[in-house]
Amino acid sequence: MTRPRGDSHVHTTASDGVDTLSERCARAREVDLPIFAVTDHDCVHPAFSEPIMKRDHCAVINGAEIRAGVAGHEIEILELFLDPTSSELQDVLERVQQHRINRNQTIVSALRTHAGLEATYEMLIHRVDGVLTRPHLAEQLEREGIVESYDEAFQQYLQSGVKTYEPLKLVVCETVISAIHAAGGVASLAHPGYFQPPTPEHTFDSLASLIQRLKTAGLDAIEVTYEYGASGFSPPRAAALANKTDLLQTGGSDCHGVDTSVTSIGDVRVSRSQFRRLYERSDTTIRPH
């Protein structure tokens, strides 16, 4: 049997991953992964000048992962095959990055006031290679001994409902999807099983309604192959939603680096035929192999 071809959901040090792009490529070679997408939060990796590049015998797709708003809910949209020179894409990325900066400044100020955090915002942004995120803040809380673990940091200080949490201002999904298409890319709903509707007992029906609305806004695909663990959601359910709404399928490890995720790069993949459909939906003329 031919092994599935690519991992369409991978993070690097450009956001909250712990591995560089070079380290990602080296690991991809080790696990016989010929193609993968870099989908860092709210940014495109600075190494990209085109939608696809060849590096260390790998085809690497330019992508991103952006939080967006739809009908009062927060979702994340994967962007694949992006032209990084697109002005509309750059405008949207600048907006979401500024929203994240404002949020981070508010959270850090609250942590210094209520948790005794010593690090300043300026110190923190100089310690990361890319976008400062809550995982970075969790690591700093643990480093300073304010909490004993990463999980405790989120439970006490970084999750919704606690005094030091600040919600992220969201760009609406229509704007995000429009920017993806303007950049010649493909828009996919990331890990749909994590969506939390108002009535949990109707998760499947509510998720189907959400996906239909996103399709009306131009959504191209949903992430089907993904490791949900014991959450109760599964790839077959995601596949059923994709088939019902005639959407393409993406899939990936969502790996943030060695020993940071349940899955590693290449553990979760998109089949060759699915990957071909995604490529054909994009506007890029650069062959991935």
Integer Cα distance of 181 and 2 in angstroms: 31
pLDDT at 147 over 50: yes
Integer Cα distance of 110 and 131 in angstroms: 19
Q: Are strands 171-172 and 58-70 parallel, antiparallel or unpaired?
A: parallel
Which pair of tokens denotes residue 196? 């939390």
Strand partners, 67: 76
Which pair of tokens denotes residue 198? 């108002």
Cβ atoms of residues 68 and 172 within 8 Å: yes
Mean pLDDT, residues 47-70: 95
Task: Tell me how many degrees the CA angle 210-12-276 measures, rounded to the nearest 5.
Answer: 55
pLDDT-wise least confident of 2-6, 122-126, 230-234: 2-6
Nearest to 173 by CA among 61, 43, 44, 73: 73
Amino acid type, 223: E
CB atoms within 10 A of CB 18: 18
pTM: 0.90
Query: Which residue is it, tokens 């300073």?
Result: 144
List all residues 6 or more positions away from 63 whose beta carbon is below 8 Å from its beta carbon.
8, 37, 38, 39, 44, 78, 79, 80, 81, 82, 185
Integer Cα distance of 28 and 31 in angstroms: 5
CA 240 to chain centre: 22
Tens digits of residue pLDDT in 232-255:
889 999 999 999 999 999 999 999
Rg (CA), the chain: 19
Integer Cα distance of 283 and 30 in angstroms: 30
Strand partners, 80: 63, 186
φ, ψ of residue 45 in degrees (nearest 5): -60, 135
CA 159 to chain centre: 18
129 vs 163 pLDDT, higher one: 163
pLDDT-wise least confident of 100-104, 124-128, 152-156: 124-128
pLDDT at 261 over 90: no
pLDDT level of residue 198 (50, 70, 90 thresholds): low
Indicate the average pLDDT of the chain: 92
Per residue in 218-252, is it b (16+ CB within 10 Å) or e — as a string? ebbbbbbbbbbeeeebebebbeebbeeeebbbbbb
Tens digits of residue pLDDT in 13-31:
999 898 999 999 999 999 9
List all residues 6 or more positions away from 125 whose beta carbon is below 8 Å from its beta carbon.
132
